[in-house]
Structure 1
Amino acid sequence: MELDKTSASQPAENPKRTPPSLKVENNNNCLNIEIDGDFDRISNEVTSKSVALGLIGQIVSLGSWGKRLDEKAANFAIGFLDAMKPEDAAEALLFTQMAATHQAMMMMAQKLNHITSIQQQDAAERAMNKLARTYAAQMETIKRYRSKGQQTVRVERVTVESGGQAVVGNVSHERGGGGAMKGDASPMHLAPRCTAKSKRSGLPCKSPAVRGWEVCRMHGAKGGHKSGHGHPQYRHGGRSHDIEATRKLITALARDARNHLGDMDH
């Protein structure tokens, strides 16, 4: 089995491309594979010729239900691999696995539609569900692989209240977690930190403090109602801070007076 570049590639003056195809024959236990069409998407300097030859042999050996060799099934897989345009050997391998997974899933679906035994139906249904989940996982894998772990976040609307701060600029996140700011450092990163501490762990709060305050909004900056008559739960003022301080002072003076009277009696 050889990939003949002179016969496989199209002439330069003919812009129409011929998709790759395979012709499979089994003569006296000798497998003959003839290739035709344009295999440049599968066999090139990126995916490697040896990898392409190995994939073709594996695709041909898949067969189908009731057939050890199936030329139509092999051409289906090679057509899918060609249509997906693998960018390197890893993508070529993954696309071949996806084609094999899809064929196996359709074979299980065909069995599920024709068998009558309850046990065989259950087995075919479980196998088909597993293959379907596998195919979805392969799709997600190739999506992450092609995006190289990059994520794009699009913000349609940002509302910044009085005293708040917002980051304007490009923010990139690396694959290992964490973030990096492109260009100058963000004002949010340079802002002073909140001086409050967690009651549970005792560690200082890492949020930026509100401008003009030593704490963040979560720890009371610009929060709460006014004391006195402006408070919605104000009733008579008998428990206000000023009254409580006056009551403590009177209690302390009364205690001192009793002590002095006791000393005079002795």
Structure 2
Amino acid sequence: MRQKIVAGNWKMNKNLDEAKKLIKGIKKGVKDGLNDNTRVIIAPSFVNLNTAIKRTKKSSIEVAAQNMHQSKSGAFTGEVSADMLTDIGVDIVILGHSERREYFGESDALLAEKVDAALENNLEIIFCFGELLEDRKSGNHFNVVESQLKKGLFHLKKEDFSKIVLAYEPVWAIGTGETASPEQAQEMHAFVREIMTKEYGATVANEISILYGGSVKPANAKEIFSKQDVDGGLIGGAALKAEDFLAIIKSI
């Protein structure tokens, strides 16, 4: 059975005190336990990762980094390596988020390097992909998604996918208030599972979790998560309020 996952990407939000309060609120809401097949992940900024690891240690909440550099070490001012993450107890990293692709020019080739570096350090990866509005309007969205997956991930072996979670995020629905309809989300998730089947076989395709990311809120989460191939969400803005994030978790 595929794992259900709700992951909160905090982006560049929350100072230390705010992060502590948010973690406390989430912990309080999930303290009674989750469905055995549901995972809750939070992704604070780099400066709050160590605190998050310590404060979630005796809970079911997992902690992810929002990004990492592909090199082991070196003269890369401001960057963080996979080894630095694992050394403080982080074992999940988000790679390929649309904001990294758009604002920091991260290419598919670079992301393939990051994927390799993460796997070499035994990090689980939440790999993001998705089309721009113009791609959707022109009907090119399936080609864009297939290309991103092939160039970023399809050099991997079958067994590597036990450490991969996929996250479809239509760029036009991130932080805009716009959301892909549940039917649009299901259509793309089913397409992704189909191309995974062609490349790696039905077992890998059926076992990999595919999350939806793009303006998920308590009001729409249940309907989106009810779709057959949607296994949870990568949540942005709604992950910054404990009550909203918890409502989304309960929707899965």
**TM-score, normalisation: structure 1:** 0.21
Of structures 1 and 2, the one scoring higher in RCO (CA 8 A, sep 6+) is: 2
Alignment TM-score, normalising by the size of structure 2: 0.21
State the structure with more CA Rg. 1
Higher strand share: 2
